[in-house]
């Protein structure tokens, strides 16, 4: 949650504060996620960004932290990949939105939408690798994430997912 956000609708102070369960389940925990790299893009702010990669998003660069470049071995130009990002400008207290930000669309739960505002703002972007530059830079086609967005994972798209 960002500073200055209102309390969560569920009355908790933090999105990651453990809930008590009536079902005898394990107590929820929080996990630490960290950037493996950053998006470099001509898109500089969220208001200018298309909602999906195929809606006119520009090509972009994925700059991978040198500490993780061994993990890129086998990623090649022409491949379709999933880029998972941390949508760092999102509001984590939001549970319902008007889809696509249009008020005539009825309020809908964020898990039924691709809104960037959601409890864990992980972005899921499908992109094609255009080129691998050096050991740390992937040029990709059509990515709607803004410049500076942390990248948290990259996975190949599997045939069965196409």
For its own copies, the binding residues (CB under 8 A) are: 8-10, 12, 15-16, 19, 23, 25-26, 28-36, 38, 52, 54, 63, 65-68, 70-76, 79, 81-82, 84, 86, 88, 95-96, 107-114, 118-120, 122, 124, 126, 148, 150, 152-156, 158, 160-162
| Distance of closest approach, residue 113 Cβ to its own copies, in angstroms | 7
CA distances to 27, 65, 103, 138 from 38, rounded to whole Å, are 33, 8, 32, 11
Nearest CB to its own copies, comparing residues 3 and 162: 162
| Residue tagged 């509001």 (tokens) | 91
Residues whose CB falls within 8 Å of the CB of residue 7, separated by 6 or more in sequence, listed in order: 13, 93
Nearest CB to its own copies, comparing residues 23 and 48: 23
CA distances to 39, 52, 142 from 56, rounded to whole Å, are 17, 8, 7
| Distance of closest approach, residue 77 Cβ to its own copies, in angstroms | 12
């Amino acid at each position: 949650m960002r500073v200055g956000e209102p309390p969560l609708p569920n009355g908790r102070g933090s999105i990651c504060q453990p809930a008590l369960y009536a079902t005898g389940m394990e107590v929820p925990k929080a996990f630490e996620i960290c950037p493996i790299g950053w998006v470099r893009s001509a898109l500089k702010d969220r208001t200018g960004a298309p909602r999906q990669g195929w809606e006119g998003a520009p090509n972009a660069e994925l700059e991978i932290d040198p500490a993780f470049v061994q993990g890129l071995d086998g990623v090649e130009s022409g491949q379709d990949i999933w880029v998972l990002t941390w949508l760092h400008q999102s509001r984590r207290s939001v549970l319902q939105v008007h889809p696509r930000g249009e008020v005539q669309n009825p309020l809908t739960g964020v898990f039924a939408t691709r809104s960037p505002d959601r409890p864990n703002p992980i972005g899921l972007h499908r992109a094609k690798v255009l080129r691998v530059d050096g050991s740390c830079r992937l040029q990709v086609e059509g990515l709607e994430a803004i410049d500076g967005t942390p990248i948290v994972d990259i996975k190949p798209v599997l045939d069965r997912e196409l």
